[in-house]
A = this chain, B = another copy of it.
Amino acid sequence: MTLEIDLQLARGEAVVQARFEVPAHGVTALVGRSGAGKSSVLLAAAGLLRPRSGRVALNGTALFDAARGIDLPPHARRLGLVFQDGRLLPHRSVRANLLYGAVRAPRDASGPELDEVVALLGIEPLLGRRPFQLSGGERQRVAIGRALLSRPRALLMDEPLASLDPPRRHELLGYLAALPARWQLPILYVTHQMDEVLRLADHVVLMSEHKVAAQGPALALLSDLSLGPLVGRFEAGAVLEGRVVEQLADWQLSVVQVAGQAVTVPMIEAPLGAAVRLRIRARDVALQRAVLPSSASNQLSGTVTRIVEREAPYAAVEIALGAATAPGECLWALVTRRSVQSLGLAPGQPAVASFKAVAVEGRATSLRP
């Protein structure tokens, strides 16, 4: 179930152009500044806006193909869309809203059940209410539930967690991250919250001024500090790839081997040997010349490969942990320019990157092919 998107779409005077793929497994984040064209792409993919030209295909089958005159109506596309503006049906109860798509799905379609979704979203007490009796965040939760329950073939989510409180957001992010593998359900996910991208996304598409400005594995893209101005100064970071080598159940910690070095992180539920990814933000990484005794339990030795001056007082420093600057084995550190000087950092120099275990978000990737 890969979702291919390639479209040109008139929006007022602007023309939104987008060409990218949402791979079958995993979450693809669609990010970009306000007005960049993200929602337009989602609406067009769902069949609610008609592109000027282009093609939208799910798993190789065209849903829309201007050249071949194909334009499947929205209901036949079966893409679960979470609208940016909610759009609950005002004349139906919360329960009826949740089930609206479910009862219309083909019998053999699979997906989560009502009870599971209701529990996840914490909307049990709201089931009998009408949408106008809900708070903003409650509405948003029902909108998410409605899309999940419609047993879609892909999920298109437009800033779905924007007005949820941190604990709920945290919980939902975990749930959403597991969905693609669980139901073979690609997710295209629009957000402005980089922490959501960091936790969820395997692929990132960055739109700017109605066009795709960059795209690629989250790994490569999020490590690219040059995109900072588009994604925000403090949120850029790197993703390390490694394998679980030890589970410290007592401490609720896991030890992951990355490029031959051990990284301690909050427990990742995965068997020994499982492939995992670690996301570490540049702002969380400190640099030093040698290993030191500190609660920053991770101190990884490497070589400075690049130093990028950012707007004062910042500089970004890339550290390769292994031999080459392979993605998955590089860290970025955001430090002051003064530290670059006082530590005498320069490309080719050895350096130790230190970060706390609590700063790492780890995730098993073993379910992916």
- Indicate how many identical chains form the complex: 2
Interface residue A69 (Cβ < 8 Å from any Cβ of B): no
Q: For residue A194, which residue of chain B has the nearest CB?
A: B166
**Shortest Cβ distance from A342 into chain B, in angstroms?**
8
Q: Check if B170 sits within 8 Å of A232, measured CB to CB.
A: yes
Distance between A41 CB and nearest chain B CB, rounded to angstroms:
12
Contact A294 B283 (CB under 8 A): no
Q: Cβ of A289 < 8 Å from any Cβ of B?
A: yes
Chain B: minimal CB distance from A263 (Å): 13
Least CB distance from A53 to B in Å reads: 22
A32 interfacial by beta-carbon distance below 8 Å: yes
Given A232-B170, A286-B356, A333-B295, A313 and B165 contact (CB-CB distance below 8 Å): no
Main secondary structure of the interface of A (DSSP, over half): mixed
One digit per residue, 1 when the CB lies within 8 angstroms of any chain B CB and 0 when it does not, for chain A 262-296 equals: 00101100000000000000011011111011111
- CB of B283 within 8 A of CB of A288, answer no
Q: Is the CB of A231 within 8 A of B166?
A: yes
Cα distance A62–B166 when bound, in Å? 35
Interface residues of A in 116-143 (CB under 8 A from B): 129, 133-138, 140-141
Partner of A294, one of B136, B231, B232, B288: B288
When distances are taken between beta carbons in the complex, the residues of chain B under 8 Å from A93 are: none
A349 at the interface (CB under 8 A from B): no
Residues of B within 8 Å of A334, CB to CB, are 356, 358
Contact A312 B232 (CB under 8 A): no
* Distance in Å: Cβ of A158 to nearest Cβ of chain B: 8
Q: Which of A36-91 contact B (CB under 8 A)?
A: 38-40, 84-85
State how many angstroms separate the Cβ of A12 from the closest Cβ of chain B.
6
Nearest CB of chain B from residue A13's CB, rounded to whole Å:
10
* Contact partner, A138, options B35, B141, B164, B314, Cβ 8 Å: B35
Closest to A286 in B: B296
Among A19-27, A107-115, A246-254, the stretch in contact with B: A246-254
B296 pairs with A336, CB closer than 8 A = no
- Given contacts A84-B163, A357-B313, whether A336 and B297 have CB atoms under 8 Å apart is yes
Q: Does A363 contact B (CB under 8 A)?
A: no
- Kindly state whether residue A343 has any CB partner on chain B within 8 Å: yes
Determine which residue in A34, A335, A342 has the highest number of CB atoms from chain B within 10 A of its CB, and name it: A34
Known: A135-B39, A170-B233. A338 touches B287 (CB 8 A): no
Q: In the complex, how many angstroms separate the beta carbon of A248 from the nearest chain B beta carbon?
A: 7
Known: A170-B233, A289-B293, A295-B286. A358 touches B164 (CB 8 A): no
Tell whether A162 is near chain B: CB-to-CB under 8 Å. Answer: yes
Could you list 20 A-B pairs, sorted by A, with CB under 8 Å?
A: A12-B129, A33-B137, A34-B135, A35-B138, A136-B159, A166-B192, A166-B232, A166-B233, A167-B232, A170-B233, A252-B337, A253-B313, A266-B314, A284-B284, A289-B293, A296-B296, A314-B358, A335-B358, A336-B356, A339-B357
4 A-B pairs besides A248-B338, A336-B357, A339-B356 with CB distance below 8 A are A266-B336, A287-B295, A294-B343, A295-B335
* The 10 nearest A-B residue pairs measured at CB: A166-B232, A34-B137, A252-B313, A252-B312, A295-B339, A288-B294, A287-B295, A286-B296, A84-B136, A33-B165
A residues near B (Cβ < 8 Å) are 12, 31-35, 38-40, 84-85, 129, 133-138, 140-141, 158-159, 162-170, 192, 194, 229-235, 248, 251-253, 264, 266-267, 283-284, 286-290, 292-297, 312-314, 333-340, 342-343, 354, 356-359
